[in-house]
Amino acid sequence: LLEKMADVSLKEAALIVGVVAACYWNSLFCGFVFDDVSAILDNKDLHPSTPLKNLFQNDFWGTPMSEERSHKSYRPLTVLTFRLNYLFSELNAVSYHFLNLVFHVVVCVVFLKVCKLFLDNRSSVVASLLFAVHPIHTEAVTGVVGRAELLSSIFFLAAFLSYTKSKGPDNTIVWTPIAVTVFLVAVATLCKEQGITVVGICCVYEVFIAQGYTLPVLLDTAVQILRGKGSIPFSMLQTLLKLIVLMFSTLLLVVVRVQVIQSQLPVFTRFDNPAAVSPSPARQLTFNYLLPVNAWLLLNPSELCCDWTMGTIPLVESLLDVRNVATLTFFCFLGSLIVFSLRYPGDSSKTVLMALCLIVLPFIPASNLFFPVGFVVAERVLYVPSMGFCILVAHGWKKLSNKSVLRKISWVCLAAVLFTHALKTLHRNWDWESEYTLFMSALKVNKNNAKLWNNVGHALENEKNFERALQFFIQATQVQPDDIGAHMNVGRTYKNLNKTKEAEESYMIAKSLMPQIIPGKKYAARVAPNHLNVYINLANLIRANESRLEEADQLYRQAISMRPDFKQAYISRGELLLKMNKPLKAKEAYLRALELDRTNADLWYNLAIVYIELKDPTEALKNFNRALELNPTHKLALFNSALLMQESGIVYIP
């Protein structure tokens, strides 16, 4: 990588470092927000006590890849860097943000080197500066989980730069750079999935840049060969060989990746991506409309939002929807650029072609074209595509600045864009200071996303401001009346405010939105595990009334019938059965829960209490000790086992 950066002068590198530092210095004062909570704060894979092999068995969020709830995002090398951060500073957010800033600087410098392959020196610096200050990158740089984009981009660009060295004198093949490319592609993919798309860029580069073919020449050659009037040129055979090696390596990576996710795609709800579960033509029209939406964010990043799920962008349900004009305009413009870049020879068309490849190919995994993703729009996935956009802008600026009439205007416009983008980025960073500031900034852009109202409520709830949190949760139910989670949040907050009647009403509304049993009809319905907590929460609420214990037990059993592997339902039911003086049934519930999770110290403790009720102190003591083996500081297990040994006179010898 250092060798590839050798063409970048010290002044250019210093300029980029200074610009990035000026734009992102305030990101060091931000905390862990939004997805950082799951990926950093709640991820046990960061802890030194967790075996290192777990990083290669779990997804990005620390969930085993084999579990249904896993998002199947396999990024072990990114998690490894989080673990290194934790090793040096534990959960001090400054170190995490600082490393992200450093990675962004590295990406900008390597990107400058890539630009110099297609642009002159001045335009390359312009493209790199545009990339460095673009506000769309705040989510990738200031959001700690955006490190996946940063790391993947470094190896993505390094892989491409390596491949550009694979053409030797007299068009011979140099295999070492190709081998390095394949290795770097694998590393990029282990940082984030989109890293594999660099192979497509290498293929386009090989055919249209390194070999200098144009589409008419390729078509004419193919026609001549098919007619038997010619043979495949030796140079073309060499090109095919290189492409076959690249494609075979890519296929191997894809096969390994499919095996890692155990041939299962993640399952998302309609709230994550409403278009994914919509009927035709709404699904196709909406997915196509999202392309100009993403393009507009690159062109005009004035209104940025951390979460574009749920009702942020209403579905395009009809051909008469005026938004289809934007889709049509986008495809006409894109098509004209593609025709220009493939049909005509010359440096300008080659620059446009490579810029388009950087825009289109890395975006394909997030485009919903081949499989649905768990978001509508995500700003951080535009990190790599924005490279192609910046090359296009810099190339256009070069054309304008070369005209004497427009030279001064082009420089003024460039300065204005760089300055306003830098200010916007600096200001946007402050939105990521806390969860409250982040979600409030998102609500200014979009008030139709119930998830945002819920998230502001959660932020206030964490501060024990239940009255104000309730207002946001209620607003979420009004924005999305069928959002089960929002009604559960309202119920929980009412409970925290000791308003049990209102809490029960809210839980009942949430319960009514769950899939209902239809007598005499068999059908399958997917239920989000978190939504099943409505049965637990409602049962926990009503069991405070001694006359409603059977009703609470019925709710626990209903949750178990809907999801037999619902561990928390067995635990809560076991506690209730003890309260109902049914220790044998409580024992059955805890044993079933232990079949699902034998590493839960609380479960072994609860089972020990059941054995005390069953007058079996020896078995109780065994279970207390199992709890202590898993958690030596389990205070209740320590106290009760000591008390039991004192009262019964039993000395447990493992």
SS (H, E, C) 41-60: HCCHHHCCCCCHHHHHCECC
Q: How far apart are CA 362 and CA 367, in angstroms?
A: 10
Confidence band of 257 (pLDDT split at 50, 70, 90):
confident
How large is the average pLDDT for residues 373-402? 91
Q: What DSSP character marks residue 64?
A: B
pLDDT value at position 4?
47
**Alpha-carbon distances of 466 from 63, 434, 458, 459, 556, rounded to whole Å:** 31, 18, 9, 10, 27
Mean pLDDT confidence for 604-628? 89
Average pLDDT, integer, range 334-347: 87
pLDDT for 279 = 85
**pLDDT on residue 589:** 92
Average pLDDT over residues 430-458: 93
Maximal CA-CA distance, the chain: 100
pLDDT on residue 230 = 63
How far CA 602 is from CA of 306, 422, 608, 623, 635, in Å, comes to 37, 51, 10, 10, 11
Residue 262, Cβ neighbours under 10 Å: how many? 11
pLDDT at 223 over 70: yes
Percent of the chain with pLDDT over 90: 53
Question: Could you give the CA distance from residue 408 to residue 400 in angstroms, rounded to a whole number?
Answer: 10
Distance (Å, rounded) from C-alpha 614 to C-alpha 619? 10
pLDDT at 228: 67
Residue closest to 607 by CA, chosen among 653, 640, 574: 574
Q: How far apart are CA 15 and CA 125, in angstroms?
A: 9
pLDDT 10s digits, 125-157:
999 999 999 999 999 999 999 999 999 999 999
What is the pLDDT, as a whole number, of residue 199? Answer: 93
Termini Cα distance of the chain = 56
Structure tokens given for 248 = 């075979």
Average pLDDT over every residue of 96-104: 97
Asked, as a colleague might, if the bond just before 372 is cis with ω within 30 of 0, I would say no
- Of residues 362, 295, 363, 364, the one with CA closest to residue 334: 295
Stated pTM of the model: 0.87
- pLDDT higher than threshold 70 for residue 447: yes
Q: Which residues pair with 173 in a beta bridge?
A: 167
CB proximity list for 14: less than 8 A, separation 6 or greater: none
d(CA 203, CA 582): 69
Q: Residues 6 or more apart from 425 whose CB is under 8 A from it?
A: 23, 24, 133, 134, 135, 137, 138
What's the rounded mean pLDDT across residues 21-34? 95
Of the candidates 176, 192, 177, 184, the residue with the CA atom closest to the CA atom of residue 159: 184
CA gap 384, 107 in Å, rounded: 10
User: Measured between alpha carbons, how far is 536 from 594 in angstroms, rounded to an integer?
Assistant: 18
Which pLDDT tens digit goes with each residue over 291-311? 999 999 999 998 999 988 877
Phi, psi of 196 (to 5 degrees): -70, -20
Topology given in CATH for the domain delimited by 446-517+524-648: 1.25.40
Of the pLDDT bands very low, low, confident and very high (cuts 50, 70, 90), residue 2 is very low
Asked if 15 contacts 131 with a C-beta cutoff of 8 angstroms, the reply is no
Query: Over 60: is that where the pLDDT of 525 sits?
Result: no
What share of the chain in percent tops pLDDT 70? 92
Please report, for the chain, the start and end positions of each structural domain, with discontinuous segments joined by +. 4-428, 446-517+524-648
3-state secondary structure 376-433: CCCHHHHCCHHHHHHHHHHHHHHHHHCCCCCHHHHHHHHHHHHHHHHHHHHHHHHHCC
Average pLDDT over residues 50-66: 86
Q: Is the pLDDT at 1 greater than 50, yes or no? A: no
- Once rounded to an integer, what is the mean pLDDT over residues 611-635? 88
Tokens 């020449």 identify what position?
217
Model confidence pLDDT, tens digit, residues 562-591: 888 888 889 999 999 988 999 899 999 999
Residue 122 has pLDDT above 50, yes or no: yes
Residues 6+ apart with CB under 8 A from 170: none
For the chain, give the mean pLDDT. Answer: 88
Tokens linked to 105 = 């600087």
Q: Are 100 and 150 in contact (CB under 8 A)?
A: yes
pLDDT(73) > 70: yes
Of 216, 224, 71, give the one whose Cα is nearest residue 148.
Answer: 71
- pLDDT for the residue numbered 173: 85
Q: What pLDDT score was predicted for residue 615?
A: 87
**Listed residue (263, 256, 267) closest to 56, CA to CA:** 256
